[in-house]
Amino acid sequence: MTPGLLTESALAVLLGSAFGVGLCLLASLAPRVSAPSLARRLTPYIRDVIDPQGLGPVSPPTTGLLDVWHDALARVGRLFGGADALRRRLDQAGWSVDAAGFRSRQVVWGLVGLGVGGLVVVAVALLGRFSPAAVVVPPVAAMVAVVFCDTRLTWAARARARRIEEELPTVLDFLALCLAAGEGILDSLRRVGDVGSGELTAEFRRTVLAVGTGSTLPEALSALSRRVRIPAVSRSIDHLVAALDRGAPLAAVLQAQATDAREDAKRVLIEQAGRKEILMLIPLVFLILPLSVLFAVFPGIFLLRVGIG
């Protein structure tokens, strides 16, 4: 294939892709003139059968392209882990999107990566430097985009978990102080949520809201423990729930948990310092020490070769 014909083909692909995207956007903006389906017309009148409590949204069964879309999302979910693991990471990261929404976001990221890779191939072809290996660029870019979206969620979950672990001793001390001042546990949680501005205090505000909407305090605290899934927080909440059930003094329990959390933080800090100390030896052993040996040995070798001395 000659370079001129290859350039014309790449330009035709670029213009055809832009034309197709424009047509798809116009089609998405066009109003739908089809009549509503039978399921959509009957659902409001049989809601007591399909949703006895009347709590769920009125959503008719999906057919056609939506089934294909959900099946594709399920396949992507099985490829990158189950829905339970994804939901756990979303709760740890504090993101409001659900598992299906995150998989849709991953698919969008993959399509964007595929489009960027296609543009790179077209640009290389327009420059006259096209090679068969360039065909691999679009799928690789799409896979990198999908993996980066998943990795970004993991980073966000770990960063939020570290922030919660750092906030835990201070929050527990404040709760113990409020309880020692004579406030109840729910009022103490509400006060901590109103005064604080961290991740853990936001979870306490969510817990207080759950109690205000009908949940019991032990259930709301257990839900908090399941959302964050941090050992220190789960241990503190388990002791707090046990103290509530047995009538133990809550202030003393929280003070003991705050002390344990501080000891855990010190231990983690010492472990991190030990790992950093080992990492600091890498440039010393592989960079500074070889250069020092080279500076010490090279002059002698040079003098021996020249024959001086």
Q: Walk along the chain (309 residues) and give the pLDDT tens digit of each residue.
A: 455 555 677 677 777 777 877 787 777 666 655 566 666 666 656 644 444 444 444 444 444 555 555 566 566 555 655 677 888 888 888 888 888 888 888 888 888 888 888 888 888 887 777 777 778 888 888 899 988 988 999 899 899 988 888 888 888 888 888 888 888 888 888 888 888 788 888 888 888 888 888 888 888 888 888 888 888 888 888 888 888 888 777 888 888 888 888 888 888 888 888 888 888 888 888 888 888 888 888 877 777 777 655
What's at 53, amino acid-wise?
Answer: Q
What is the structure's pLDDT at 36? Answer: 65
Residue closest to 153 by CA, chosen among 90, 103, 198, 96: 90
What is the structure's pLDDT at 56? Answer: 45
Does residue 287 belong to any structural domain of this protein? no
Q: Where do the H-state alpha helices sit in the chain? A: 3-29, 38-42, 47-50, 65-79, 83-93, 99-126, 137-180, 185-195, 199-212, 217-228, 231-246, 250-283, 289-306
What is the structure's pLDDT at 230? Answer: 85
What is the structure's pLDDT at 57? Answer: 45
Question: How many folded domains does the chain comprise?
Answer: 1
Does residue 214 belong to any structural domain of this protein? yes
What is the Cα–Cα distance from 98 to 90, expressed in whole angstroms? 7
Does residue 136 belong to any structural domain of this protein? no
What is the Cα–Cα distance from 79 to 81, expressed in whole angstroms? 6
What is the structure's pLDDT at 58? Answer: 44
Quote the pTM value: 0.63
Task: Scan for tokens 């034309």, then name that residue.
Answer: 19
SS3 147: helix
Residue closest to 228 by CA, chosen among 157, 149, 146: 157
What is the structure's pLDDT at 232? Answer: 84
Does residue 243 belong to any structural domain of this protein? yes
SS3 230: coil
Task: Scan for tokens 């009125």, then name that residue.
Answer: 58
Does residue 99 belong to any structural domain of this protein? no
What is the structure's pLDDT at 50? Answer: 46
Does residue 283 belong to any structural domain of this protein? no
CA distances from 194 to 122, 182, 200, 301 (A): 55, 18, 12, 73
What is the structure's pLDDT at 77? Answer: 58
* Residue 192 structural domain: 161-265
What is the Cα–Cα distance from 202 to 227, expressed in whole angstroms? 12
What is the structure's pLDDT at 262? Answer: 85
Degrees to nearest 5, angle at CA 189 with 188 and 195 = 85
